[in-house]
Amino acid sequence: MAIELKMPALSPTMEEGTLARWLVKAGDAVKSGDILAEIETDKATMEFEAVDEGVVSELLVAEGSEGVKVGTVIALIAGDDEEQKPNAAPAQAGAVTEPPASSGPSLRGNEAPVTKPMAAQAVSLEGGTPTTVREALRDAMAEEMRADPRIFVMGEEVAQYQGAYKVTQGLLDEFGAKRVIDTPITEIGFAGIGAGAAMAGLRPIIEFMTFNFAMQAMDHIINSAAKTNYMSGGQMRCPVVFRGPNGAASRVGAQHSQNFAPWYANVPGLIVIAPYDAADAKGLLKSAIRCEDPVVFLENELVYGRSFPVPDGDHSVPIGKARIMREGSDVTIVSYSIGVGLALEAAETLAAEGINAEVLDLRTLRPLDKGAVLASLAKTNRMVVAEEGWPVCSIASEIQAICMEEGFDHLDAPVLRVCNEDVPLPYAANLEKLAVIDAGRIVEAVRKVCYR
């Protein structure tokens, strides 16, 4: 019986990939450990190894095919126990005369590649170039680095490996090892070096592989970076950017899945930014790098690969200003980061039910754009806050407090929050799904505040 080789999932967030290159062809005998193909994931180019022994009978997806879904059958191997076992294999391997390599596979290859626009993600900006969030972040750094020699990037795997999540791809080539610096795995050490270098007048961008690891470094983010300007009576600044992915990824368990936004947003002296789409990722990161204050810049691994239009040229976005992602009149859904996509998705569903929801993206969490929150509340009189994170002492609870204290007269219903379940994030797929917010839950909360 033929063994089906399927497109493997080579990273926790990979849903599809590019079959970059076949290293075998039909008729080749392969054994366990042989490299069959190179597959580009959302993070890196990986080698795909054989597990079973046998002879490759057919390649079903042509090399160069993009967007091949995980689980797609990409090749067939005639198993060891089949008739051509001992001598047929070398014979076939020699007979390279007519392997149907390029014609057959491309047929099958065509049905796999689909670029996946996430439901409500196609927020139409004023046009621009489709760019992934990952590329937008890289472009922001590269453009700023070209303009200011004081800027450097430091972190684990940022240089030679091209970034653990490929965000720093190409920077080493362009800027060299002096400005793109691989560190040992030593978070508090390099966070401190970054803060110290900023105090001395440089402009460090410190990448944390994820913000989960930044907990080791929190002392420098808070005690060293955030408080310096105040404690020195304005004498000593610390213009450093701490950036990296934040929030739940996918199936990586509790220690690698946490939203730290409320933690940092609690601290005076810090700027905390959590962009959603590529235009904001670029525009806000550029502003963060130019900013004289220390910035915590929270990205999201699950949106790195999503594509959005980014305005051409020197696109920067002001810090501290929320934006209306979707105009509405019946209710406001406030969110940030990945939650914005879910809020937009919920708004679509609600529109079909006759509820016209406004979606407000906070973008900057400290300083928070209270004015925008209150103005939207004054317009719709109802509010739901959607946050991919725990509910207790959250950004959502802060928004609720603001509405109570300063928007009470505009409230026609209690402000509700839709957050993750109040548990460490479980690993099991079904439990994880239950623990993390989704559009359905936002829709439900909106119905409640609209008394529908």
Partner 1 sequence: MARAATSKAASSGAGPLSNIKPYSASTDEMLRFYKDMLLIRRFEEKAGQLYGLGLIGGFCHLYIGQEAVAVGLQSGLDANKDSVITGYRDHGHMLAYGIDPRLIMAELTGRGAGISRGKGGSMHMFSVDHKFYGGHGIVGAQVALGTGLAFAHKYSEDGGVAVAYFGDGASNQGQVYESFNMAALWKLPIIYVIENNGYAMGTAVERGSSETHFHRRGESFRIPGIQVNGMDVLEMRGATDMALDYVRAGNGPLLMEVKTYRYRGHSMSDPAKYRTREEVQDVREKSDPIDGLKKIMLEAGISEDDIKGIDKEVRRMSNEAADFAESSPEPDVAELYTDVLVGSY
- Which amino acid, one-letter code, is at 85? K
CA distances (Å), 140 to each of 2, 10, 195, 283, 354, in order? 49, 28, 21, 7, 40
Q: Check binding of 191 to partner 1 (CB under 8 A).
A: yes
Find the binder of partner 1 among 271, 333, 357, 418 (CB under 8 A). 271
Find the binder of partner 1 among 320, 391, 413, 447 (CB under 8 A). 320
Stretches 46-54, 85-93, 230-238, 250-258: which one binds partner 1 (CB under 8 A)? 230-238
Q: Check binding of 189 to partner 1 (CB under 8 A).
A: yes
**Strand 241-245 to strand 203-207: parallel, antiparallel, or no bridges (unpaired)?**
parallel
Q: How far is the CB of 182 from partner 1 (least distance, A)?
A: 10
Encoding tokens for residue 401? 């407090």
Q: Check binding of 324 to partner 1 (CB under 8 A).
A: no
From the list 76, 33, 72, the residue with the least C-alpha distance to 55 is: 76
Q: Check binding of 233 to partner 1 (CB under 8 A).
A: yes
In whole angstroms, give the CA distance from residue 207 to residue 248.
Answer: 18
**Which one, 290 or 447, has the nearer CB to partner 1?**
290
From the list 269, 389, 264, the residue with the least C-alpha distance to 338 is: 389
- Which amino acid, one-letter code, is at 76? L
**Strand 357-361 to strand 323-326: parallel, antiparallel, or no bridges (unpaired)?**
antiparallel
Burial class (CB in 10 A: 0-12, 13-18, 19+), 110: exposed
Phi, psi dihedrals of residue 20, rounded to the nearest 5°: -70, -40
**Which one, 73 or 193, has the nearer CB to partner 1?**
193
Q: Check binding of 115 to partner 1 (CB under 8 A).
A: no
**Which one, 322 or 446, has the nearer CB to partner 1?**
322
Write each residue from 44 to 83 as x if it is in contact with partner 1 (CB under 8 A), else as -, in one continuous string. ----------------------------------------
Stretches 160-168, 264-272, 331-339, 432-440: which one binds partner 1 (CB under 8 A)? 264-272
Q: Check binding of 427 to partner 1 (CB under 8 A).
A: no
410 included as an active-site residue: no
Encoding tokens for residue 129? 């170039």
Residues 250, 165 contacting (CB under 8 angstroms):
no
Residue with tokens 């990945």: 338
Residues 6+ away with beta carbon under 8 Å from 87? none
Restricted to residues 283-302, the positions that interact with partner 1 (CB under 8 A) are 291-293
Find the binder of partner 1 among 87, 124, 160, 235 (CB under 8 A). 235
**Which one, 101 or 188, has the nearer CB to partner 1?**
188
444 included as an active-site residue: no
Residues 348, 298 contacting (CB under 8 angstroms):
no
Q: Check binding of 318 to partner 1 (CB under 8 A).
A: yes
Burial class (CB in 10 A: 0-12, 13-18, 19+), 54: buried
Stretches 13-21, 72-80, 266-274, 422-430: which one binds partner 1 (CB under 8 A)? 266-274
Phi, psi dihedrals of residue 105, rounded to the nearest 5°: -55, -40
Q: How many chain residues touch partner 1 (CB under 8 A)? A: 47
Stretches 221-229, 275-283, 309-317, 439-447: which one binds partner 1 (CB under 8 A)? 221-229
In whole angstroms, give the CA distance from residue 368 to residue 389.
Answer: 17
**Which one, 34 or 293, has the nearer CB to partner 1?**
293
Find the binder of partner 1 among 234, 354, 405, 409 (CB under 8 A). 234
- State the catalytic residue, choosing from 256, 315, 345, 358: 256
Residues with active-site annotation: 187, 256
What residue ranges bind partner 1 (CB under 8 A)? 152, 178, 183-184, 186, 188-202, 219-220, 223-224, 228-237, 239, 268-269, 271, 291-293, 318-321, 364, 367
